[in-house]
Structure 1
Amino acid sequence: MTRLVRRAGTAGALAFLFALTPGLAHAHLVDTRLGDFYSGALHPLTDFEQVLPWLALAVLAAFQGPRVARWVVLAFPLALAAGGALSLVLPPPPFAPVAGVALVALTGLAVAAQLRLPLAALLVLAVGLGLLDGYQNGAAMVATTDRFLFLSGVTVIGYAFVTLALGCAVAFLAGVGGWRPIALRAAGSWVAAVGIMVLGLHLMSRGVG
């Protein structure tokens, strides 16, 4: 019975997670009606390059165990907020897009290898990813945007998304069957492949490739 409840809870959480990820056109239609908070909350979910590393970060944290993973739940949204605040006072660094995609590939590779990271290394990765994504979301604001509401929305959705994805990954790994870590590692390899491909395109567009 306990196992059945756990599986049902995992399935329900996964369904809720996917329900939080609307299509691009629908998201932009909704955010024009519901204000700058909802605009900030929906904005990162319409960017594939942000959603992928958020998922990969949650899975990587789950591989470290719940005691270590819980620190990501605290560090990541705080870094998102800090990155958004920095976008208000600093010009966009030219390396930000490449660095963001490189972090996608790095996080995916870490998941694929099922790396056991020290807490400090995991936090550096979570904070770096949060700062870059927070900055990119903050830079998307226009002159009429309420900055506090928009960045609050980004921070709240970052916390909710990573917390839910992490909980699903931990519950999934706790289930019976040695195939479960392998399945998540395979997903990590796909994230890494996408990150490497997009990174190559970024470098080629800059004349580096």
Structure 2
Amino acid sequence: MKLKLTRALLGAAMPLAGVNAAEAHIVAARLGDFYAGAAHPLTDLQDIVLWIAIGVLAGTLGAAKGRWLIPVFPLGLLVGLPLGNVFGATSSQLADAGMMLAIGMLLAAAVQVPALLLCAIAFAVAVMRGAANGADLAPETDRLLFAAGLVCAGYAVITLTMALTAMFKRTSSDSATSWRSIAVRALGGWIAAIGLMMGSLALAS
């Protein structure tokens, strides 16, 4: 009796699985590789944390320094994309964790980073995350469209994060003890903690 019930359930599940696969194929074909490149980094914790962290850091330093990231960050993504097979998974995780720790500590300490150093940090983050996204490309993926989507996503996330951070910190008082500054520094502490945990997990694995 149980065997017949199992066969019946399997028989009913197979058409449903086929429908789901067909629907997924239709959605992928409809959206295309450009949208895959734009959406892919938004599904990865390392991308989300690092992109937001570098955008917040730039936003706290003001528009004069932050605007340099608008061309630098997308350029770094383009440079890193072909390097997807160069770095191993463990080394990539350690590099991401180290960057999270460094950026988080800079935010927590409210360090006034020079524009050149800010651009160097942003470019390094972009190259690393561009390589990580490139490592996940399938052979049939149109790399040009994927790269265009990835660059557009990087531009949008960095620009919006910088703008929102600058607006958040815009108060009548520039005191380092204002609650808005304290909130940004607390966020930096959380980013550093995430980087420390990710680094520990990468070393333990």
TM-score (norm 1): 0.79
RMSD, aligned α-carbons: 1.9
Aligned to 1:13: none
Change (3 A) 1:157 1:31: farther
1:58-137 superposed matches below 5 A: 58-87=55-84, 91-93=86-88, 95-137=91-133
Distance 1:97 1:189 in 2: 19
Q: Which amino acid aligns with 2:51?
A: W
2:77/2:126 contact within 8 Å kept: yes
2:105/2:189 contact within 8 Å kept: yes
Aligned to 2:181: 181
Report the count of equivalent residues. Answer: 176
Distance 2:148 2:83 in 1: 14
Distance 1:31 1:199 in 2: 36
Distance 2:115 2:194 in 1: 26
Deviations 1:147-205 (CA, angstroms, capped at 9, x unpaired): 11111111110000110010000111113462111111111111110110111110111
Q: Which amino acid aligns with 2:87?
A: P
Overall identity of the aligned pairs, in %: 37
1:53/1:108 contact within 8 Å kept: no
Shift, 1:85, TM fit: 2.9
Change (3 A) 1:188 1:105: same
Distance 1:79 1:139 in 2: 15
Listed as ranges, the gaps of 5+ residues in structure 1 are: 1-27
SS at match of 1:43: helix
Aligned to 1:42: 39
Deviations 1:107-131 (CA, angstroms, capped at 9, x unpaired): 1111111111111211111010000
Structure 1, 150-159 or 90-99: larger mean CA deviation = 90-99
Aligned to 2:8: none
Shift, 1:61, TM fit: 0.9
SS at match of 1:95: helix
1:31/1:39 contact within 8 Å kept: no
